[in-house]
Amino acid sequence: MQKALEQLKKIDAEIKALEEIQAVLEWDQQVYMPERGVHARSEQAAGLATIVHEKNTNPEIGDLLDKLGASDENPLGSTNLADDDRCLVRAVYRDFRQATRLPADLVSRIARVTSVAQSVWAEARRKSQFTLFQPHLEEIVELSLEVAERLGYAEHPYDALIDQYEPEMTTAEIARVFRELREGLVPLVRDITSARQVDNSVLLRAFPIDRQESFSRTILDALQFDMSRGRLDRSVHPFTTSLGADDVRLTTRYDENYFPTALFGTIHEAGHGLYELGFDRRYHDTRLASGASLGIHESMSRFWENVVGRSRAFWHHFYPVMKEAFPDQLSGVDLESFYKAINRVEPSLIRVEADEVTYSLHIILRFELERMLVGRELKVADLPRAWREQSQDLLGIVPDNDANGVLQDIHWSGGAIGYFPTYALGNVYGLQFTARLREDIPDMDNRVRNGDLAPIKAWLDTHVHSVGRTRTPRELCEEVAGQRMSARPFIDYLKKKYADIYDL
């Protein structure tokens, strides 16, 4: 059994290295690759995806898992194994079961189609022409349906796609949580929009991009993002990727006339990066050095961006620093005015720039559209119309063009159907974890007010980051929060915060 475990770990390390090479190619395509390099890159991506798939479906893995006692009834394997080793066996077993259900030619087709589709999406977004992207998305939807059928599902094909990003999650469970969110958010948004609106004109002044970047790096340092183990670059759509245990890349984008785009985008991506850099070193070079799920990953980014980064306590410390960086732009603007400005609530078109109250409504919109696409209740050609209708229903506004509506996100071009719900689940997990954090660090706000973020990061390292994939999201939620997933702590947090800001 020990020999089988050692061989499994050797194969796992080889797969991990190949996946990190894949991440290098993907990062380069989004950050530095010249436009005309896309077709060669698509072939490179397809070839490497085939190799990784072959590694993941190697029959030897199945034999080793059998020797280690793993099965559908007992995915953790033999009780004679150490706890960490059992967690690794479970992770490999899950991934092997999924990978062996997807033939190599399907994996290669997906890699090739999505690599080209991402380039076409970028062009379509620039031109605001959905019809350019439509045939590529139609192909991606069909490929996703093929994936769902091969992976299998109990009730809805969308279940199989969600499970790739949020293990053990179902369409029905997401619908339950999203009903809680909708029931809590819609009345709150109505109350806020009926109140006197916050003045955010200070955010619309010209903030030089070079100083925005410098200030963003100051905040990264305060968050203890280790730049000797990472970097910050620019991309069309902000993202974070790990190229190794000590090589985590963040990207952001800048708008000279709206500085929150870069600042809060950078803090958000830093939350992802801190998670990636926080895995226990004994899990490095294994698949346990990854997030429990994308929802858990998103809980970390949303926590730092909103619970900390948009708090009054945070800016009590950092606003004087910002005023030094932007003396002309912030002249005559006091802390309270600035705090309210960055927390202004107003239904808007762009998800990544949405306030924390309306943000989850953007995700509910995408969840409903994806569910209908996969359930064949909606055709890709009708997606722009359906998007406008859902936007009107949920947010009360309609996109003025495709770029501000159906083309605004990169995810579908990468084949990530089933990914979007994890963003709102991140809000839910994040506030459940925050409730426990406040119990353990009752003076949390005072520490943030003094710029002392180290205890918070240390708590997250201990309770969330370090455990990596040794827990399922359900296990982690119950272990940290003491209960199953619930939207109530998030809704209560929003009601308290915005009742204060809007005098509700």
Angstrom distance (rounded) from CA 499 to CA 187: 12
Q: Of these residues, 26, 166, 173, 269, which one is catalytic?
A: 269
The tokens describing 1, both together, are 């059994």
Angstrom distance (rounded) from CA 204 to CA 3: 62
Residue 465 half-sphere exposure, CB side, CA atoms within 13 Å?
21
269 included as an active-site residue = yes
Angstrom distance (rounded) from CA 221 to CA 213: 13
Which secondary structure element, helix H or strand E, spans residue 499, and what is its range? helix 488-502
Per-residue burial over 138-156, b if 16 or more Cβ lie within 10 Å, else e, is: ebbbebbbebbeebebeeb
Angstrom distance (rounded) from CA 121 to CA 130: 8
Angstrom distance (rounded) from CA 253 to CA 410: 14
Give residue for tokens 């109250």. 357
Those residues whose C-beta lies under 8 Å from the C-beta of residue 161, and which sit 6 or more positions away, are 144, 147, 148, 370, 374, 417, 418
Crossing angle of helices 473-481 and 294-302, rounded to 10°: 40
Number of residues written out for the chain: 504
Give residue for tokens 């989850």. 360
Maximal CA-CA distance, the chain: 70
Catalogue the active-site residues: 269
